[in-house]
Structure 1
């Protein structure tokens, strides 16, 4: 993370404000025993190491079921928001297999929901 941030600083224009996006493939949850507060603590520690960047963390954990995914991600995101963190949680909708209103609600409670991009044609 620090290396990527350093490279962006080194080669980017001073007015260029990059968002760093890392898909961690559920590895944070595996490392911390699926404890949402430990996942939050780690994400916060990482984001604090690169405070000038918005940090997107995609798929930090797989909590086993759709309901557990929803509940735990909502807890992590609300804690990040309460702390005014510049870290964001990104959810891959293909993993959690939601659609319709539930997907919309998850997208609102998390920072961004990837994997289902509408195709627009004219």
Structure 2
């Protein structure tokens, strides 16, 4: 059974509302293959960023376990020499209530495209 749509007073049909739910990847390796190149591109800019800022602006899928996999991604990028910690900021994530989050910046090696494993 479909949900009835209430027309506006002028008779037009309103656009469907988009939900706040984000896509969620079902497989960690597939998710990593999707987000890795995006974070490498951001690291190459040398600007300071948060995980959520990049994920939100690029409409990236959440990993299968968001509570742990985002941090694991940043640890892998740091271990590979692409990013370094830059400090702390208040989170823009709506559910985080402006709590403190780590900020990251691409390394000189990432900007030069030669980060080492």
Structure possessing the higher radius of gyration over alpha carbons: 2
Q: Structure 1 or 2: larger helix share? A: 1
With the shorter chain as reference, the TM-score category is 0.3 to 0.5
TM-score, normalized by length of structure 2? 0.37
TM-score (norm 1): 0.36
